[in-house]
């Protein structure tokens, strides 16, 4: 009787293990590669943030330049405000000419402060104007007070013209009104007989200085 040979089946687990290894390699090749790409994509975002910071810094610098341009000092601001407050709250012109003297003195101080702040030299002219302003109250009964006021006013107007031309060309109309107001004061007429003209001059000077202050 012939002997029947029975072959044993080969185990399949090595094939399963091989399939798992292949799948693992494929996973790391494709999925891992995508993670690297994601990290590379983050790079441009960082670059954009740096660019934005640079733009912001430039904007701040430009704003600072604009703000500083033609800006008068705190001292000049204070002198202009002092002059404006005085003529707004005091309008009584008497025979002692105290109001006119103080208004001229404060106007001269404001004009000089603005000129110094903007580095415009008008000191020599204003020195003469100050001397004339002080002489207004020396003798209340003199008849040449209007002449002194007119002379001081013309010097102040010329000083303001120097500042206006150098730094504020757009305020030419304001200066022209000031010029017309000082010319309206008649040197040969008593000051108390032309109060309106004198006060109008002070008001126009205030307007010009205030407009300079706002720039």
Q: Print pLDDT tens along the chain (215 aa).
A: 455 555 555 667 677 777 787 877 777 777 665 554 444 444 445 444 444 444 344 443 444 334 334 578 999 999 999 999 999 887 677 665 788 889 999 999 999 999 999 999 987 888 889 888 887 766 555 656 788 899 999 999 999 999 999 999 999 999 999 999 999 999 888 888 998 999 999 999 999 999 998 76
**What sign has the CA pseudo-torsion 68, 74, 79, 82?**
positive
Per-residue model confidence (pLDDT) at position 62: 40
Which residues make Cβ contacts (< 8 Å) with residue 35, sequence separation at least 6? Answer: none
Q: Give the residue from 78, 89, 71 showing the smallest Cα distance to 202.
A: 89
The DSSP secondary structure of 28-39, one letter per residue, reads: HHHHHHHHHHHH
Q: Give dist(CA 136, CA 97) in Å, integer.
A: 7
- 96 DSSP assignment: T
């Amino acid at each position: 009787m012939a002997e029947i040979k029975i072959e044993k089946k080969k185990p399949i687990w090595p094939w399963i293990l091989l399939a798992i290894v292949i799948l693992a390699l494929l996973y790391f090749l494709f999925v891992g590669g995508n993670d690297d790409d994601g990290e590379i994509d983050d790079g441009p975002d960082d670059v954009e943030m740096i660019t934005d910071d640079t733009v912001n810094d430039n904007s701040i610098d430009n704003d600072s330049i604009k703000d500083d341009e033609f800006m008068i000092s705190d001292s000049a601001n204070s002198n202009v405000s002092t002059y404006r407050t005085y003529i707004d709250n005091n309008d009584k012109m008497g025979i002692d000419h105290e109001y006119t003297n103080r208004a001229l003195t404060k106007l001269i101080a404001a004009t000089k402060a603005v000129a110094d702040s903007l580095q415009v030299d008008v000191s020599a002219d204003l020195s003469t104007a100050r001397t004339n302003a002080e002489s207004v109250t020396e003798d209340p009964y003199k008849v040449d007070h209007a002449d002194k006021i007119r002379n001081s006013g013309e010097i102040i107007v010329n000083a303001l013209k120097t500042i206006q031309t150098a730094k504020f060309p757009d305020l030419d109309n304001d200066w022209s009104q000031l010029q017309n107001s000082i010319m309206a004061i008649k040197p040969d007429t008593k000051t108390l007989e032309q109060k309106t003209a004198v006060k109008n001059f002070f008001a126009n000077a205030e307007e010009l200085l205030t407009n300079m202050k706002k720039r």
